[in-house]
Structure 1
């Protein structure tokens, strides 16, 4: 009986010794796994080993990253139901090499979602990609959508979120981002229009902004938002209307054209053939327009070596 009592008396101490040896094998040094869990939960900081090394590498990479000269918002003004085109554009831009010392954000702008399917499917895109902006407007082509786009930007991207330049581009246009950045790098940051003037016009009074895409400085977007009279001047071809705004307001005086580097895709079946704004693909392209179907997109992306990252694999055979 005494022997049993002694054993029961020692049992708590034996259990304590077992726990001590399990959790504190190196004296009072806590196991790395427990320390990492505790610090992550309470301090949101990596604690040891690979986690700390990764954090330090990311911090060092951020310190060594080149300074950004300017930021551009490329707004693809499109329609909610253009799901396939948005998917293609995401691929086309994601596979480009990033421009040096510039940030170019590509976002899709659509008017209010009017159908049940768009409300659900566009919501899924927003969750997955976070690159769609839904404007407070009714879908239209020549009745104020351009005004809705530009006038909304200062509210959507206020203060430090503002960009240096903002573009309005079609969803059948393909910009080469590094080339675009190089053309903007030494341009003025105020009162700027960058793009192709109305094709073949020589009289400045008859020029308007070409629908393939154009870039303006952020102050022009702010001016559109602040000028209430423009809200009542929205009827007509949207890019002609925008040119009218700039002329009437004396804006966009720093105007730069990219003739030959901004052009429409030349389709062999076109009756008109080559002209001042339509020609074959060229290596120093800034933007090519009128990519109306998948074959035109495929040929354009192949020309600019978008498929060069495809690695040989036994899982597929692609004859390029």
Structure 2
């Protein structure tokens, strides 16, 4: 691996992370109604990961808005999917990426999720692979309060939307404010960062710029997040846009599974 993760840079080698107290994490995976195949693949991989966790707890659900086309057949498929797996959350808003979904997601976290079960809550996209154990290990030494964690450019004020991790108190902060269109319309990761920097009295922003990156096979997309490698210690790999793109992840992290 050609760079150090945040903890390693601070002098905590990866191997020593196992000795820190375990953590409990909720992951909300943003998806849209018609991406059933991607959800099924992610669900299968994540359930395998969850069974293999060493002391940590990582739960996940898929986060959707109401389909904008009011398609009855699609709604029936979503109902059948949720009846089968019980892992879909339908926010009370029309599906969108950058026009308020961020606010209503964090508000759902604060008002509907049993946050007493978690130290951290997070948002990821359904084109990102999240390595549950590596995420948990890297969060173990960090603060449980006012945390804003993920991939951050040294010159920016926000965590990129590949994975955004908040301590639970920040979700409550967001929910304590009414929705204001001017604060939440725009790129969701930028708007979240702007909101937290404006309203949080204390904010521990931690950039994890080595272990969260764009798929190494894609050289011309999002160069600022691109790495030429993936390692066993990686936390998140972004830009997995179709089933074929996930094959490299499966081969690297799940090759020993039956």
Give me the TM-score of the superposition, normalised by structure 2.
0.84
Distance 2:62 2:35 in 1: 10
Give 1:186 shift: 2.1
Larger RCO of the pair (alpha carbons < 8 Å, separation 6+) = 2
Taking the TM superposition and a 5 Å limit, the aligned residue runs for 1:53-92 are: 69-92=22-45
Partner of 1:266: 216
Partner of 1:191: 146
**Paired residues, what number?**
235
Q: Is the 8 A contact 2:149 2:159 kept in 1?
A: no
Between Structure 1 and Structure 2, whose CA radius of gyration is higher?
Answer: 1
**1:141 equivalent among 86, 97, 114:** 97
Q: Which consecutive unaligned segments of at least 5 residues does structure 2 have?
A: 1-20
RMSD of aligned residue pairs (Cα, Å): 2.1
Q: Is the 8 A contact 1:170 1:212 kept in 2?
A: yes
Matched, 1:297 2:250: no
Give SS of 2:161's match.
strand
Partner of 1:27: none
Deviation >3 Å, runs of 4+? 229-232, 270-278
Go from structure 1 to structure 2 and tell me whether the alpha carbon gap of 1:190 and 1:295 turns closer, same or farther (over 3 Å shift).
Answer: same
Taking the TM superposition and a 5 Å limit, the aligned residue runs for 1:135-284 are: 135-158=91-114, 160=116, 162-197=117-152, 201-203=153-155, 206-228=156-178, 230=180, 232-250=182-200, 253-267=203-217, 270-271=219-220, 277-284=226-233
Give SS of 1:137's match.
strand
Q: Which consecutive unaligned segments of at least 5 residues does structure 1 have?
A: 1-67, 311-320
Give me the TM-score of the superposition, normalised by structure 1.
0.68
Q: Is the 8 A contact 1:76 1:107 kept in 2?
A: yes
Go from structure 1 to structure 2 and tell me whether the alpha carbon gap of 1:121 and 1:282 turns closer, same or farther (over 3 Å shift).
Answer: same
